[in-house]
Amino acid sequence: MSEPRQLTYLEAIAEALVVEMDRDPDVLLIGNDIGGSFGGAFKVTKPAAERFGPGRVKNMPMTELAFVGAANGMALMGLRPVVEVQFADFISTAFDSIVQYAATTHYRWGASIPWVIRAPSDGGIRSGPFHSQNPEAWFVHTPGLKVVAPATPADAKGLLLASIRDDNPVIYFEAKPLYRSLRGPVAEGDEALPLGRAQIVRSGTDISIITYGSMLHEVTRAATEVAEDGISAEVVDLRTLKPLDTDAILQSVTKTGRALIVHAANRMAGVGAEIAALVADEAFGDLDAPVRRLGGMDIPIPFSPPLEDAYRVSAARIAETTREMARW
Amino acid sequence: MSNTSRSTETPARGVLDAAGKLNLAYWMRLTRTLDDAIMAMWKQGRGVGGTFSGRGHEAIAVGAGYAMGPHDVVAPMHRDLGCYLVRGMSPERIVANQLGKADGVTRGRDANLHGLGDLSLNILGFVSHLPQSMPAALGAAMAFQYRQEPRVALTFVGDGSSNTGLFHETLNLAAVQQAPFIVVVENNQYAYSTPLREQMAIDDIVIRASAHGVAGHIVDGNDVAAVYEAVSAAAARARRGYGPSLIEAKTMRMLGHAIHDGAEYVPRRLLEDWERRDPVVRWEAKLLEEGSLSGEMLQRLHAECREEVDMAIQQAERAPLPDPSDVASGVYAP
């Protein structure tokens, strides 16, 4: 068998869009600057724009609240719009259309809203307070939404295909620092990965490090580093944040007896808090150490390199915390 | 004449024949009778939570709803009881919903007229965050364009939500897309307790349409034929590919914002003035005057509507409440 192709994280997302638009005429893309020869601020939609043209890759005026609201109506009519908000930071401008309308509709009157919002998120690339955010916790807190956060090119493709095919509103957080920096094997074809399943990226016995998105790669580096000190860390990549794969989390923590949760988003009331509470509720008797969380500081995301580095979780901090926990 | 046997199709769109005139009289009287009955139930303590009256808005809700074809999509709000009815939602399902019953439209999930959506009737349910139905209806219209279907989507908003950013964003997007989209602005003078003069510095909301390149019209919102004709014309225009329209229907909210609200802040004289223009009474008087309707026919019409509403309420009150073990079902599509 030949080696699978290597694609960047960005190419994998772009390919998923083209594959699904080829397969399903109900899929169309809307967003700011995504169409024409420009093809998006990050060029994710460029291959789709070139292949399908302005009828299916539609530029929108700068009206996120209205065009996400329009995606609600398109989806109610059976289309599967994939909306790009240019930066995840701007998703707040569309908040009502997401959390009030889309998230509640199926519960209230039984109609499906099968859209996907692609939200380029995350920082570490000196983009300042308004182009670096990780707002996933807002949406994990909202019943009726699904939230996906892939960390690898293969997952980015497989989970985007699944998100588009899902009959619910799905917010798909792309880790933009990985767009061009991360390359990995990606299968050809149109096979989706299931939503709601975490993956054990690295097996271990002493501690479970639970993470998602760009932080997976910091965690993996830290796990390699602490292995030299004889600490065997198991790395759990959540992949989907809602629904959360609680079984995978509890299985791992029950095995290792220690849980460290790491995310790029600020720690306060973040996804890690929910996981820590889950572990406390369901696996307290199996714990050998207090549950710890690492996340961004509870401040707006600063711009200047030394400030952003101080804000952001690093592999070194993860390794240090892992060692502390292993000593318990 | 049962609710379901009435056709919502008129033979010649935009022109009211004798049958069409009588149909409008029926739908408006049914709306008023049901509205009155719901208000009475709530005052007698037979209601659940709060509720809303659309008294005074019957001509807009019925006229606009009746102008739409069966494949067109409507997204009504809490003043548009008549639109739900004319589109085929039964009074029993509506009352059952208001009482939180298991066989209400939302199975006890959403309150009063909120969330009364049913895709089999091409009705989208609304959320309190008005005008969220505006972009939803626009999205439906964009889906029709995308699939090259000759369908139109219509929604309603009030004077209050015409001040939101979303109202303007949606009009702008509708115009850019040249979408087959109609928004009926029910200018009923008050957003809850706030009168127009404290909401906006313009006399006519319709000028907001021209700012965005959307066709705009003002109609007498208490004249059902005028509403019907204006909406029919806008729909025909949209179907031919000429894009969106805004219709400002001037009317008056005759009761409070919701059942709890006595609306003491509204000058009595204003209400008295508008009472003389009551849309339901006015249409019946016109049909009597021109001979389309006899006094005897009118009496029969009233009796039929009362009977239909009484029966709907009896059935809805007898219907079971939802099972609490079912509370978490339906959050997600399977």
Residue A315: band (very low, low, confident or very high) from pLDDT cuts 50, 70, 90: very high
**CA B167/CA A245 separation, integer angstroms:** 40
Residue B109 has pLDDT above 60, yes or no: yes
Indicate whether A322 pLDDT > 90: yes
CA distance A201 to A223: 11
- ω into residue B279 within 30 of 0, thus cis? no
Contacts of A78 in chain B (CB under 8 A): 143
Q: Which two tokens stand for residue A24?
A: 């399903």
Mean pLDDT of A234-248: 98
C-beta atoms of A100 and B127 within 8 A: yes
Chain A interface with B: residues with Cβ < 8 Å: 28, 55, 60-61, 63, 65-79, 81, 96-97, 100-101, 104-112, 114, 143-144, 146, 167-168
Q: Name the band, by pLDDT with cuts 50, 70 and 90, for residue B11.
A: very low
Catalytic residue list contains A131:
yes
**Under 8 Å between Cβ of A72 and A39:** no
Residue spans of beta strands (DSSP E) within B10-131: 73-75
Q: How far is A283 from chain B (nearest CA, A)?
A: 25
* Residue B4 pLDDT: 41
Q: Does residue A326 carry a pLDDT above 90?
A: yes
| Mean pLDDT of all residues in A48-70 | 98
Query: Using CB atoms, which residue from B73, B114, B139 is nearest to A69?
Result: B139
Task: Report pLDDT for A2.
Answer: 63
pLDDT of residue B13: 59
Q: Return the closest-CA partner of residue B221 out of B183, B184, B249, B248.
A: B249
Contact residues, chain B, for A35 at CB < 8 Å? none
Contact at CB, B138 and A69, closer than 8 angstroms: yes
pTM given for the model: 0.96
Average confidence (pLDDT) over B24-47:
98
pLDDT per residue over B120-172, tens digit each?
999 999 999 999 999 999 999 999 999 999 999 999 999 999 999 999 999 99
Mean pLDDT of chain A, nearest integer:
98
- HSE at residue B320, side-chain half, CA atoms within 13 A, is 4
Contact A79 B132 (CB under 8 A): no
| Structure tokens that stand for B240 in this block | 């031919």
* Predicted local confidence at residue A1, as pLDDT: 53
Find out whether B294 and B284 touch, Cβ atoms under 8 Å: no
Query: Has residue B10 got a pLDDT over 50?
Result: no
State percent of chain B over pLDDT 90: 96
pLDDT, residue B5, reads 44
Residue B180 has pLDDT above 60, yes or no: yes
Burial class of residue A52 (count of CB atoms within 10 Å of its CB; 0-12, 13-18, 19+): buried
Tens of pLDDT, residues B168-178: 999 999 999 99
Q: What is the mean pLDDT of residues A280-295?
A: 98
Summary mean pLDDT of chain B: 95
What is the value of ipTM here, to two decimals? 0.97
In Å, how far are A144, B40, B109, B250 from B53, measured between CA atoms? Answer: 30, 11, 20, 17
pLDDT (tens digit per residue) in A15-49 = 999 999 999 999 999 999 999 999 999 999 999 99
Q: For residue A176, give both structure tokens.
A: 């933009």
pLDDT one-digit tens code per residue, B215-265? 999 999 999 999 999 999 999 999 999 999 999 999 999 999 999 999 999
pLDDT of residue B15: 80
Structure confidence at residue B12 (pLDDT): 45
B3 — pLDDT class (breaks 50, 70, 90): very low
Residue B199 confidence class, pLDDT cut points 50, 70, 90: very high
DSSP string of B251-267, one letter each residue? ----S-SSTT---TTS-
Token pair for B311: 């029966």
Q: Distance of CA A39 to CAs A53, A304, B314, Å?
A: 10, 29, 59
Tokens 């807002």, located at residue: A138
Res B8: pLDDT: 45
pLDDT at A4: 78
